[in-house]
Amino acid sequence: MTKILVTGAAGFIGMHTALRLLERGDQVVGLDNLNDYYTPQLKHDRLARLTGQPGFEFVKLGLEDQSGMTELFKRHKFDRVIHLAAQAGVRYSLTHPHAYVDANLVGFVNILEACRHNQVQHLTYASSSSVYGANRKIPFSVDDRVDHPVSLYAATKKANELMAHTYSHLFGLPTTGLRFFTVYGPWGRPDMAMWIFTKAILAGKPIDVFNFGKMKRDFTYVDDIVEGVIRTNDTIPSPMPVTESLDDSHTAAPYRVYNIGNNQPVELLYLIETLEKAIGVTAQKNMLPMQPGDVPATFADIAALQRDVGFKPDTPIETGVQRFVEWYKGYHKI
């Protein structure tokens, strides 16, 4: 039986990941600070699906609590860590920068140090497609340079990748970063477009459509994300032999980064049209220009993910949206 720490276990991706690990017989310790970035009730409701399950234990703790994190790792002796907790949100980072420093930088150092000193076999952590920032070449490849973030959130995620590489290089800690592309599905976050649009359409209220609906996103269904997380966590990177053919985009350290995206970008107006069909209501639209920190398109090149773990996300947007709307109506008793 493998003992795995899942941080952010009361979060959207964290809950789904913990459930899948428990279903296959792993022992899971779920960590979350249950903060109020969005309604804590949703986090408690997610957590209720995990509590009481055989092999699950919940710990309420903030990543920035160094002594608490040190004690947690000493007590449990984790085999592996799936680090999904973070301060999320591009727009929130414009007004609350210190929250990102505390959770995404200080918290990540605490995770790295705890893994290093407790012989953790593999750290898998959430990065983000936002690291591609102002890049214009698409699809986005993990071999592309990512030196121009356009939000502090994106900068902290790029910093996580750099920090992880340092620990992989210096201490031989195997790390894998996963650049998620616009995750959606049942139990999703209230600050994400899918939830905001669905709530407004059902209430007969107008929705704000930025960049006049011309933005494209590589919407990725949560079950596909979880499959990618678990497959990569099961695939522990080994050091690459140092050869003359090792170019600047690769490293000899036990370190990998992968995109996890649907590999099929969808225009925002088509997403709205798909939601309208699933809900059975036509949306009122406020057409607006681009927001600060946003990018016009995201598109994942998943060749490395397919090559190394044999997985390709494939849930069509129409299927995923229908499932989300059905869950949303059930959860809110509509």
- Cβ count near 332 (within 10 Å): 10
- Interacting residues of 143 by C-beta distance below 8 A, sequence separation 6+: 249
Active-site annotation holder among 153, 221, 258, 328: 153
Give the three-state DSSP class for 296.
coil
- Cβ count near 95 (within 10 Å): 8
Give the three-state DSSP class for 145.
coil
**61/70 Cα distance (integer angstroms):** 11
Q: Is 153 noted as a catalytic residue in this protein? A: yes
Among 273, 193, 183, residue whose Cα is nearest residue 219? 183
Among 299, 206, 233, residue whose Cα is nearest residue 82? 233
Residues 7/125, Cβ–Cβ less than 8 Å: no
Give the three-state DSSP class for 57.
strand
- Interacting residues of 268 by C-beta distance below 8 A, sequence separation 6+: 193, 209, 210, 211, 213, 214, 215, 216, 217
Q: Residue 97 corresponds to which tokens in the numbers above?
A: 């920068």
**279/324 Cα distance (integer angstroms):** 10
**180/314 Cα distance (integer angstroms):** 14
**224/239 Cα distance (integer angstroms):** 27
Active site residues: 153
